[in-house]
Amino acid sequence: MERKTIYVTQSSMPLYEEYIEMIRPLWDSHKLTNMGDYHNRLEEKLKDILHIPYISLMVNGHMALEMAIQAMDFPKGSEIITTPFTFVSTTHAVIRNGMIPVFCDIKYSDFTIDENKIEALITDKTVAILPVHVYGNICNYNKIQNIAKKYDLKVIYDAAHAFMEVINGKSVESLGDASILSFHATKVFNTIEGGAVCFSDECLHEKLYNLKNFGIRSEEEVAAVGANGKMNEFCAAMGLCNLEHIEKEIERRKKNTFHYDEILSGKKGIMIRKRNQKIKYNYGYYPVVFSSQEHRNKVYTKLKNNNIYARKYFYPITADQQCFLGKYAKVDLKNAREVSERILTLPLYSDLEEDEIDRICEIVCKVQ
């Protein structure tokens, strides 16, 4: 029997009619971009939902990250302490800003930056810490904040995986000097392509606005050097539609996650993640750590042969990517390498059916 191909994720979309209804007025206004009504409405709505004072929507998560770093006005050649266990965008954003990435190892327990290894990496060139809430596991923000305070460093969180998460009653997006979100089609909440910088210092607002809109302040005045990072109205409209269903989206992901847990917990050679009771998760990913690299690769191949596409997120670690290799300080990244060799992200999205999860798990458990 021919079975449906299952990818690691499937973009969530509103009903066709809902989106068409939403974009219909654009044919009257002809206002397709440049901070239009939908752009502004989405900013207001997100501030409300995420409990943050300021947000700046961007064309994608990567530009949000680049522009957040740029808005901090660090001297060129400064060092930013970051994690190599992330999507390559995080490392690119540091380097494309003329900064030097200093990689810090991660914790085996939740794959986030090891806050106890940060201080040893600080030099007189260090200006910031750029941690990632990997798979929605939230970094030890208290400890990171204390280090930042002690050494007068900025903290910029790559929160691309942590949309709408809450820890100890605090919104994740409110952490650090800035938190970056991605609204890419593959994320829990999408605007097709899109992203945002969340922050609490009002000064950043004008800087980010200049960076994303060519520094234009009025018809005849360009006040700063900037680029084009604006989110257009079609993307903002998609975001407004998707926000209507976000609670249901997360609820269904949660149900699917628990179904995986039920089947995979306690299985030999398979480590599923422990959840922190203090975190309200968005259930964006289902990472599994296998007993060895060989075990992981076998599972990956076996799934692929059954038209099920799991992903080796994040393998290899960014520090080992060809474009960075040998260019930056060598640090012991033992945990990051080990996790990346043994991890596999299984398919997870709201429309994934329980019997599909059963089928995936059956294949996963058969491989020894």
Q: Pick between residue 110 and residue 158 the one whose CB is nearest to ligand PLP.
A: 158
d(CA 284, CA 13): 15
Site for ligand PLP in 198-257 (CB under 6 A): none
Closest residue to ligand PLP in the complex (CB): 61
Q: Pick between residue 86 and residue 350 the one whose CB is nearest to ligand PLP.
A: 86
Q: Tell me whether strands 270-272 and 279-280 are parallel, antiparallel or unpaired.
A: unpaired
175: Cβ contacts below 8 Å, ≥ 6 apart? 141, 155, 157, 159
Site for ligand PLP in 170-199 (CB under 6 A): 182, 184, 195
Smallest separation (angstroms) from ligand PLP to the CB of 124: 28
Q: Pick between residue 110 and residue 259 the one whose CB is nearest to ligand PLP.
A: 110
CA Rg value for the chain: 21
Q: Pick between residue 132 and residue 147 the one whose CB is nearest to ligand PLP.
A: 132
Q: Does 132 bind ligand PLP (CB under 6 A)?
A: yes
Q: Pick between residue 320 and residue 356 the one whose CB is nearest to ligand PLP.
A: 320
d(CA 100, CA 261): 39
d(CA 95, CA 120): 21
d(CA 28, CA 82): 46
The DSSP secondary structure of 128-177, one letter per residue, reads: EEE-B-GGGPPP-HHHHHHHHHHHT-EEEEE-TT-TT-EETTEEGGGSSS
Smallest separation (angstroms) from ligand PLP to the CB of 310: 16
d(CA 322, CA 132): 21
Position among 87, 135, 281, 300 found at the interface with ligand PLP (CB under 6 A): 87
Interface stretch with ligand PLP, choices 54-62, 98-106, 222-230, 249-257 (CB under 6 A): 54-62
Position among 66, 79, 158, 177 found at the interface with ligand PLP (CB under 6 A): 158
The token pair at 347 is 């398919």
Interface stretch with ligand PLP, choices 36-44, 143-151, 154-162, 271-279 (CB under 6 A): 154-162
Contacting positions for ligand PLP (CB under 6 A): 60-62, 86-87, 89-90, 132, 158, 160-161, 182, 184, 195
